[in-house]
A and B are shown apart, each in its own frame.
Chain A
Amino acid sequence: MKDLFAVVMLSGIYGLLSASFFVALDAVDVAFTEASVGAGIATLLMLVTVTMTGRYEHTAHHKPIWALVVVLVTGVLLIYGTLDMPYFGSADAPGHLHVAPRYINDSMQEIGVPNIVTSVLASYRGYDTLGEVVVIFTAGVGVLALLSVTRRPEESAEIDATNVSMHKKHLILRIVTKMLIPFILIFALYVQFHGDYGPGGGFQAGVIFAAAIILYSMLFGMSTARRVINQPLVQFLSAFGVLIYGSVGIVSMLNGGNFLDYNLLSDDPVAGQHLGILLVELGIGCTVTSVMVIIYFNFGGRTEDYMRNRTKDA
């Protein structure tokens, strides 16, 4: 397929479909993330990139037969490899015998959080999650380093002019968006703080929060959004989330335990676990939201500059 716009749309549809099969597999937390990132934000970022790079792929002059052969051989080998794996859903698969029984049986006594996914993510596997948060933070820093442009401060008359011209173009969308954004933000907070009891948590809440901000900046213009959402503050928050996560670990070390051992955060081990998970999820939420916002604003800012220069040249 040569039309990149169609490719982007197809990948968005694929994201939504895979979210629904995650639901069918009872992995609601993953489905949540996949629906908001795979179908929402990733598609949007690719669209922003396509507006800059052009809609159609260049025609290739060579026939990629060898690439096809490599793909086929790898695929056949991978399928051959699955033959040795245990049957889908079988109870004696190695993955189900190692640590999973302990999580399922003891999570309620040790951590006291009804949603086992949250207890595994934030407490048993706290190191891994810290790593993930650092990876997300690094992505934000990378985007900032590669794509950020220094822009002169825009005059407020100019910003108001774009705002008014967009108001005429997108009246209905703007009104509906204005009505929806508060609900989206409240829903994100619900997902954030209800993660102990139902599906959700910092990652999902962060992405939903960022989606609301991105929706706003799409309909009210990048420059207005830049005035509403303070970019240095967002950059600070992205680091602050990682800092919260790390300091929870340090505090538990100072109390005489291991790094990220939440039992020692409070007198009662279970209360300590609750406190630790709450703080850690808060840190994750901060970092994910601000990194998503940073990525979108830098991609969008690049495109905006590019469009402006093109109209100036023409």
Chain B
Amino acid sequence: MDSIIEISSALSLLIGSFLCLSGGVGVLRFPDFYTRMHAVGVTDTLGAGMILVGLILLRPESLVLIKLIMILLMTLFINPTASHALAKAALHSGLLPLLYQRDKQKGAESSNP
């Protein structure tokens, strides 16, 4: 039983770290604001969440558990909301997604050759 818990904890820690790392690469490599937001959102919510789950599994019988669960709940509430607010502010201030801009340019070119 213990080994199952340990293995699953290690797995979730690994997945969490991988997601954080790939999120970091994504922030640097993605072409425009919204795709970068996506990378950040993955890091924030799923990456941090998986790491917290891994930590919870490591210490299943102490006060730390409750604190970690509180932190998990808070991240699950706050991070998606923050991403939402950020994306909405960008859209509100007139920044369009890259693909949308490209489509619009193409449409303009094909309509008046």
**Chain A residues within 8 Å of B, Cβ to Cβ:** 172-173, 176, 179-180, 183
Q: B21 near A: Cβ within 8 Å?
A: no
Complex Cα–Cα for A172 and B88 (A): 11
Neighbouring B residues of A172 by C-beta, 8 Å: 81, 84
- Bound CA span A176–B81, Å: 7
A183 CA / B77 CA spacing, docked (Å): 12
The contact sample of 6 A-B pairs, CB cut-off 8 A, is A172-B81, A172-B84, A173-B81, A176-B81, A180-B77, A183-B74
Q: Is the CB of A180 within 8 A of B85?
A: no
CA distance A173 to B77 in the complex (A): 10
Q: How far is the CA of A176 from the CA of B74 in the complex (A)?
A: 11
* A179–B85 CB distance below 8 A: no
SS of B interface (majority): helix
List CB contacts (< 8 Å) of B73-105 with chain A: 74, 77-78, 81, 84-85
Residue of B nearest to A175 (CB): B81
Q: Name which residue of chain B comes closest to A183, CB basis.
A: B74
A180 to B82 Cα, complex, angstroms: 13
Q: A176-B77, A176-B78, A179-B77 are in contact. List 4 more A-B contacts (CB 8 A).
A: A172-B84, A176-B81, A180-B77, A180-B78
Report A-chain residues with C-beta under 8 Å of the C-beta of B85: 173
Tell me how far the C-beta of B26 lies from the nearest C-beta in chain A, rounded to whole angstroms.
19
Measured CA separation A183–B74 after assembly (Å): 10
Give A180 to B81 CA distance when docked, in angstroms.
Answer: 12
Minimum Cβ distance to chain A for residue B112 (Å):
35
Report A200 CB to chain B, min CB distance, Å. 15
Min Cβ gap A218→B in Å is 11
Q: Report the minimum CB–CB distance from A7 to chain B (whole Å).
A: 18
Alpha-carbon gap, A176 to B73, bound state (A): 12
Binary CB contact string for chain B from 23 to 40 against chain A (1 if under 8 A, 0 otherwise): 000000000000000000
Measured between alpha carbons, how far is A215 from B8 in the docked complex, in Å?
Answer: 38
Give the docked Cα–Cα distance between A173 and B85 (Å): 7
Collect the chain B residues with CB atoms within 8 Å of residue A173's CB.
Answer: 81, 84-85
Q: How far is the CA of A179 from the CA of B76 in the complex (A)?
A: 13
Closest to B73 in A: A183
Residues on A with beta carbons closer than 8 Å to the beta carbon of B74: 183
Query: Using a CB-CB cutoff of 8 Å, which residues 40-85 of chain B contact chain A?
Result: 74, 77-78, 81, 84-85
Give A172's nearest chain B residue, CB to CB: B84
Complex Cα distance, B70 from A180, in Å, reads 12
- B78 contacts across to A, CB distance below 8 A: 176, 180
Q: How far is the CB of B103 from chain A (nearest CB, A)?
A: 27
Q: How far is the CA of A172 from the CA of B84 in the complex (A)?
A: 8
Q: How far is the CB of B21 from chain A (nearest CB, A)?
A: 20
Chain B residues near A183: list those with CB within 8 A: 74
**A176 to chain B: which residues have CB within 8 Å?**
77-78, 81
Residues of A within 8 A of B81 (CB): 172-173, 176
What's the least CB distance linking A24 to chain B, in Å?
Answer: 19
Which A residues are CB-close (under 8 A) to B84? Answer: 172-173
- B83 CB to nearest chain A CB (Å): 11
How far is B73's CA from A179's CA once the two chains are assembled, in angstroms? 12
Question: How many Å lie between the Cα of A173 and that of B84 in the bound state?
Answer: 8
CA distance A269 to B85 in the complex (A): 53
Q: How far, in angstroms, from A176 to B80 measured CA to CA in the complex?
A: 10
**Nearest CB in chain B to that of A176: its residue:** B81
Residue of B nearest to A173 (CB): B85
Chain B residues positioned under 8 Å from A179 (CB to CB):
77
Residues on B with beta carbons closer than 8 Å to the beta carbon of A180: 77-78
Q: In the complex the two chains form, what is the Cα distance from A179 to B81 in whole Å?
A: 12
B92's nearest neighbour on chain A, judged by CB, is A169
Nearest-CB residue, chain A, relative to B70 = A183
A142 to B13, CA, bound (A): 51
- In the complex, A286 Cα to B81 Cα: how many Å? 30
* A204 nearest CB across to chain B (Å): 17
Complex CA–CA separation, A179 to B84 (angstroms): 16
**A263 CA to B54 CA, complexed, in Å:** 48
In the assembled complex, the CB of A303 is this many whole angstroms from the nearest CB of chain B, namely 17
